[in-house]
């Protein structure tokens, strides 16, 4: 199992296989199998951002209760999805963004086709926020 991070959306995904020379089949944390451009995938670094929890894989030598539900292989994503977050959630979760700026983010999202951000770079239209730092700290993603 190899984990990668989609640079466009910020999601952590599990690599399944190559589809062709430019595309990969991956599984996201919701269990959906999707195709992603290989150029958009970067190797996932444990400990980076809020998803730094490491889950130890189960081995055959471990004698555990078989009735117990196995832990997830893909770490739980505690970052903020800006496509579904309210202005209050954005202001509370992301340091450096106040409520007024969070309302602008929601207004921008609602003005886009499909009322969704397609990548994190679209947020850079909102001024007075250091988006490069927020994106580098891995606090938000789009899905």
List, for residues 45-63, the tens digit of each pLDDT value: 766 655 545 555 556 665 6
- The pLDDT assigned to 8 comes to 85
Q: Are 24 and 31 in contact (CB under 8 A)?
A: no
Residue 117 phi, psi dihedral angles, 5° rounding: -80, 140
- The pLDDT assigned to 99 comes to 95
- The pLDDT assigned to 85 comes to 94
Residue given tokens 């739980």 in the structure block: 76
List, for residues 103-117, the tens digit of each pLDDT value: 999 999 999 999 999
Taking alpha carbons only, the member of 117, 120, 115, 112 closest to residue 139 is: 120
- The pLDDT assigned to 117 comes to 94
Whether domain 3-51 has CATH 3.40.50: the reply is: no
* Whole-number Å distance between alpha carbons of 60 and 91: 45
10 burial class (0-12, 13-18, 19+ CB within 10 angstroms)?
A: buried
- The pLDDT assigned to 143 comes to 85
Domain with CATH 2.30.30 in the chain: 3-51
User: Which regions of the chain are under pLDDT 50?
Assistant: 52
* Whole-number Å distance between alpha carbons of 24 and 16: 7
């Amino acid at each position: 199992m190899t984990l990668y991070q989609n640079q466009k959306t910020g999601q952590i995904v599990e690599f399944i296989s190559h589809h062709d020379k430019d595309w990969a089949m991956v599984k996201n944390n919701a269990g959906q199998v999707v195709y992603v451009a290989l150029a958009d995938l970067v190797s996932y670094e444990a400990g980076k951002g809020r998803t730094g929890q490491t889950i130890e894989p189960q081995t055959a030598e471990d004698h555990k209760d078989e009735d117990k539900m196995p832990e997830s292989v893909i770490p739980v994503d505690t970052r903020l999805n800006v496509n579904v977050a309210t202005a209050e959630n954005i202001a509370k979760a992301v340091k450096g963004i106040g409520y007024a700026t969070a309302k602008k983010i929601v207004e921008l999202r609602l003005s886009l086709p499909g009322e969704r951000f397609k990548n994190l770079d679209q947020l850079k239209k909102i001024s007075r926020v250091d988006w490069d730092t927020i994106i580098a700290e891995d606090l938000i993603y789009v899905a």
